[in-house]
Amino acid sequence: MPTSHKNDKAVNLFDALPMKSFTTLPWIAFILICGCGDGRASVSGKVTLTDGTPVGGARVTARNDETGAWATGITTAEGEYSLGTQKSGDGIPAGKYYVIVLENSNNFDNPQPRIFHAKYEMAKTSGLSLELESGERKVMDIELEPPRRH
């Protein structure tokens, strides 16, 4: 039993605490271990073309028009991504989102032909959306059509 010596008299520290504290302590421990829940969900998945080829270097972005919340992630060479608001994978607030996918077009000196159809770069035409609940872990695999050849 933890004790304290006050004026050379041993005092039981548990006797000094009100009994209510012991019924409250398990709840406090539960909240500290589990967290209070910040209303975030996680979203990850794989971006591929319709033929199964992974799309590397693309930016997947989800945006909620009602709240303005957004999250983004960059696909790996294998096409895998994880959405985040501050960094990849840190989650996204619960809500309804539209999703767009942007091609990596950083190489201005040596532009490459489009990998997928441009419709995925605009919310009105992408056809991609998701709805998230607090604490949810959603896998959203995205299959993209190739560009139209004229």
**Distance separating alpha carbons of residues 84 and 81, to the nearest angstrom:** 10
- State whether 27 and 47 are in the same domain: no
Instruction: Please report whether residue 149 resides in a domain.
Output: no
Q: Lowest-confidence range among 4-18, 32-46, 54-68?
A: 4-18
CATH number assigned to the domain comprising residue 112? 2.60.40.1120
DSSP 73-138: EE--TTSEEE-BSSSTTS-EESEEEEEEEE-----SSS----SS-GGGGSHHHH-EEEEE-TT-EE
Owner of token pair 């909240």: 31
- State whether 70 and 116 are in the same domain: yes
pLDDT in tens, 47-87: 999 999 999 999 999 999 999 999 999 999 999 999 998 87
pLDDT in tens, 103-119: 986 666 777 788 999 99
- State whether 18 and 61 are in the same domain: no
> Which letter does DSSP use for residue 31 in this model?
H
pLDDT value at 93 more than 90: yes
Most confident of 42-56, 91-105, 112-126: 42-56
Averaged pLDDT for residues 7-23: 49
- State whether 78 and 13 are in the same domain: no
Instruction: Please report whether residue 126 resides in a domain.
Output: yes
Averaged pLDDT for residues 36-42: 74
3-state helix, strand, coil in the chain (%, to 5): 20, 35, 45
- State whether 15 and 65 are in the same domain: no
Residue 47 has phi, psi (to 5 degrees) of -110, 125
Number of domains into which the chain is organized: 2
